């Protein structure tokens, strides 16, 4: 506890941790940014520290599966402070990194493996890891694993795990297939739900702007130029679209980078690190970043393209308003995307605007009102020198960026191990 600054549990942690410590299987439903990682991480670490003996070579005691490399790294970063000063080890297994290095790490045995399913199966096929000693299984962001087709990988991994075991499934949404998955892999689970599936965070100010596809570049630059120092996450639908948009922004003078499936893991890690530290202020991404980026300072999320899967909208905008902060999410909707918007509205229970029967936008794009305060101070743009400049692109970045606070408790940072029951209350309240 001395090495941690976690003092107050979030609602999902307050409800899930006592049940997990009692050995129950858990079905946890909560919106992004509410601390699901520590809701399963704290009980697992607490129980592992109470066990005797070190793991045998090529074995592990706990397995956490996550759909993306970024989420695997985030989970591991949240777990490592909990085991600091102990012999408990956390090992990450993801694609895009040296498989030989991962084989060497597993050769010595580990306590907690945090992995993407694909690379884990590669190592299983090579005989580099044995899962028969795993007694704790976590499926994090399970709905996205289903969307990405990892259900087949899970069916290959699960029979290799030890029994009996404790299984915990956490997700922000609850599609029908996920409910079927929980029935297959969880035994008499305790359902923990702190918000309706698909509900977005209350502190996210959401807006949809109806405009033609060709108007999107100009409108994006207008919004970005209103607050050049704000950390802004821009979502595109495809890898090529994200890269093309990023290059155009950089050419126009914006401080931008991109992450998507065509980037190496090193490139993705460096881009996220630079974004987190404010070295770049605009990150253009595909849904690879919809989960696994826990950066409290993100002020804006812009859905340049609406996602094909409505649940992805919830996860995308969940990258802002984290750790109790406020944030703004703006979505661009062209006529071609009208059906995607209707699916999103149905999921989140919100009507963003009326459209006629043919899908033509009845609402015109309006420039959003600026918030009060220093963060959205007005800026003067230079005289246009090109089409990009006419769209409001900056000629020069402000080098004296404001620092953003890193405090708050989203459940994504350090947390104490000892005294969990006392901290939560004897009855978990």
pLDDT of residue 152: 87
Co-location of 111 and 49 in the same domain? yes
| Per-residue pLDDT at 127 | 96
Please indicate, yes or no, whether the overall pTM of this predicted structure exceeds 0.75. no
Q: Is the pLDDT score of 330 beyond 60?
A: yes
Residue 214's nearest CA partner among 303, 301, 332 is 332
Q: How many domains does the chain have?
A: 2
Q: How confident is the model at residue 201 (pLDDT cuts 50, 70, 90)?
A: low
How confident is the model at residue 195, as a pLDDT?
A: 66
Look at residue 360 and tell me whether its pLDDT is greater than 60.
no
- Would you call 187 exposed, middle or buried from its count of C-beta atoms within 10 A (0-12, 13-18, 19+)? exposed
Under the banding of pLDDT at 50, 70 and 90, the label for residue 4 is very low
pLDDT for the residue 80 = 95
Domain boundary pick from 198, 213, 236: 198
Residue 247's SS3 state is helix
- Report if residue 412 sits inside a domain: no
Residue 365 has pLDDT above 60, yes or no: no
Q: With a cut of 80, say whether residue 281 has pLDDT above it.
A: yes
Cα 249 to Cα 236: distance, rounded to the nearest angstrom: 13
267: domain CATH number is 3.40.50.300
Q: Is 145 found in the same domain as 215?
A: no
Domain of residue 186: give its range: 11-198
Is the pLDDT at 428 greater than 50, yes or no? no
**217 and 171, same structural domain?**
no
User: Within a domain: residue 72?
Assistant: yes
pLDDT value at position 9? 86
77 falls within a domain: yes
Q: Does 269 score more than 90 pLDDT?
A: no
The pLDDT assigned to 242 comes to: 95
Average pLDDT on 274-285 reads 94
The DSSP letter of residue 239 is H
- Residue 21 has a pLDDT of 96
Does residue 427 or residue 46 have the better pLDDT?
A: 46
Secondary structure, 3-state, the chain: CCCCCCCCCCHHHHHHHHHHHCCCCEEEECCCCCCHHHHHHHHHHHHHHHCCCCCCCCECCEEEECCCHHHHHHHHHHHHHHHCCCCCCEEEECCCCCHHHHHHHHHCCCCEEEECHHHHHHHHHCCCCECCCCCEEEEECHHHHHHCCCHHHHHHHHHHCCCCCEEEEEECCCCHHHHHHHHHHCCCCEEEECCCCCCCCCCEEEEEEECCHHHHHHHHHHHHHHCCCCEEEEECCCHHHHHHHHHHHHHCCCCEEEECCCCCHHHHHHHHHHHHCCCCCEEEECHHHCCCCCCCCEEEEEECCCCCCHHHHHHHHCCCCCCCCCEEEEEEECHHHHHHHHHHHHHHCCCCCCECCCCCECCCCCCCCCCCCCCCCCCCCCCCCCHHHHCCCCCCCCCCCCCCCCCCCCCCCCCCCCCHHHHHCCCCC
Q: How is residue 149 written in tokens?
A: 């087709």
Q: Is 258 found in the same domain as 278? A: yes
Residues 284-305: what's their mean pLDDT? 86
Residues 187 and 208 in one domain: no
Domain for residue 135, yes or no? yes
Q: Is residue 16 within 8 Å of residue 192, measured between CB atoms?
A: yes
Task: Mark whether 222 and 276 lie in a shared domain.
Answer: yes
Percent of the chain whose predicted confidence (pLDDT) is above 90: 52
Residue 398 domain flag? no
Last residue of some domain: 153, 171, 198? 198
Computed over every residue of the chain, the mean pLDDT equals: 81
For residue 390, the model assigns a pLDDT of 35
Task: Report the pLDDT value the prediction gives residue 68, as an integer from 0 to 100.
Answer: 87
Q: How confident is the model at residue 424 (pLDDT cuts 50, 70, 90)?
A: low
182 pLDDT exceeds 60?
Answer: yes
Domain shared by 163 and 231, yes or no: no
Q: How many Å apart are CA 39 and CA 420, to the nearest integer? A: 11
Residue 222 forms part of a structural domain = yes
pLDDT, residue 367, reads 40
Nearest one of 258, 244, 324 to 289, comparing CA atoms: 258
Q: What is the pLDDT of residue 310?
A: 87
Do 235 and 358 reside in the same domain of the chain?
Answer: yes
Can you give the pLDDT at residue 296? 79
Confidence tier at 177 by pLDDT (50, 70, 90): confident
Average pLDDT over residues 125-140: 96
In the chain, the percentage of residues whose pLDDT exceeds 70 is 77
Of 9-18, 373-382, 385-394, the range with the highest mean pLDDT is 9-18
CB neighbour list of residue 290: distance below 8 Å, 6 or more residues apart? 144, 235, 307, 312, 315, 316, 318, 319
| The pLDDT of residue 294 | 76
Range with lowest mean pLDDT among 18-32, 144-158, 178-192? 144-158
Say yes or no: 251 and 367 in one domain.
yes
CA distance 158 to 113: 14
Say if residue 129 is in the same domain as residue 184.
yes
Domain end marker among 150, 169, 198:
198
pLDDT band at 323 (very low <50, low <70, confident <90, very high): low
Residue whose entry in the numeric block shows the structure tokens 């009692």: 22
Residue 343 lies in a domain: yes
Give the pLDDT confidence of 82-132 residue by residue, as tens digits: 999 999 999 999 988 899 999 999 999 999 999 999 999 999 999 999 999
Q: Residue 221: inside a domain, yes or no?
A: yes
Q: Using alpha carbons only, give the angle 106, 110, 113 rounded to the nearest 5 degrees.
A: 85
Mean pLDDT of 328-338: 95
Distance between CA 355 and CA 208 in Å, rounded? 12
Residues 84 and 164 in one domain: yes
Within this chain, do residues 98 and 226 fall inside the same structural domain, yes or no?
Answer: no
Res 47 pLDDT > 90? yes
């Amino acid at each position: 506890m001395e090495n941690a600054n976690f003092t107050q549990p979030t609602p999902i942690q307050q409800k899930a941790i006592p049940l997990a410590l009692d050995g129950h299987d858990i079905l946890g439903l909560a919106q992004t940014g509410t601390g699901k990682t520590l809701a399963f991480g704290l009980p697992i670490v607490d129980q592992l520290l109470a066990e005797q003996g070190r793991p045998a070579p090529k074995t592990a005691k706990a397995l956490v599966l996550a759909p993306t490399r970024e989420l695997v790294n985030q989970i591991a970063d949240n777990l490592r402070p909990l085991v600091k000063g102990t012999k408990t080890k956390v090992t990450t297994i993801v694609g895009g990194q040296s498989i030989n290095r991962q084989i060497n790490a597993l050769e010595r045995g580990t306590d907690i493996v945090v992995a993407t399913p694909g690379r884990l199966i590669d190592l299983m096929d090579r005989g580099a890891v044995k899962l028969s000693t795993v007694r704790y299984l976590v499926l994090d962001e399970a709905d996205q694993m289903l969307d990405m087709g990892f259900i087949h990988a899970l069916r290959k991994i699960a029979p290799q795990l030890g029994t009996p075991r404790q299984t915990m499934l956490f997700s922000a949404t609850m599609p029908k297939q996920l409910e079927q998955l929980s029935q297959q892999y969880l035994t008499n689970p305790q359902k923990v739900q702190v918000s309706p599936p698909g509900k977005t965070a209350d502190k996210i100010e959401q807006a949809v702007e109806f405009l033609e596809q060709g108007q999107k570049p100009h409108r994006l630059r207008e919004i970005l130029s209103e607050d050049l120092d704000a950390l802004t996450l821009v979502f595109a639908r495809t890898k090529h679209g994200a890269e093309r948009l990023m290059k155009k922004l950089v050419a126009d003078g914006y401080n931008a980078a991109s992450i998507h499936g065509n980037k190496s893991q090193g490139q993705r890690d460096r881009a996220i690190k630079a974004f987190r530290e404010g070295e770049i202020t605009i990150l253009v991404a595909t849904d690879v970043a919809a989960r696994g980026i826990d950066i409290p300072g993100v002020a804006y999320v812009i859905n340049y393209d609406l996602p094909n899967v409505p649940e992805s909208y919830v996860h995308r905008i969940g990258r802002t308003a984290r750790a109790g902060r406020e944030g703004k999410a703006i979505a661009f909707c062209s006529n071609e995307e009208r059906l995607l918007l209707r699916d999103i509205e149905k999921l989140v229970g919100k009507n963003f605007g009326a459209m006629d029967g043919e899908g033509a936008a009845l609402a015109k794009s309006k420039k959003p009102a600026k918030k009060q305060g220093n963060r959205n101070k007005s800026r003067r743009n230079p005289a246009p020198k090109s089409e990009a400049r006419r769209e409001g692109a900056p000629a020069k970045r402000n080098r004296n960026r404001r620092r953003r606070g890193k405090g708050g408790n989203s459940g994504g940072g350090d947390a104490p191990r000892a005294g969990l029951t006392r901290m939560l209350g004897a009855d978990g309240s």
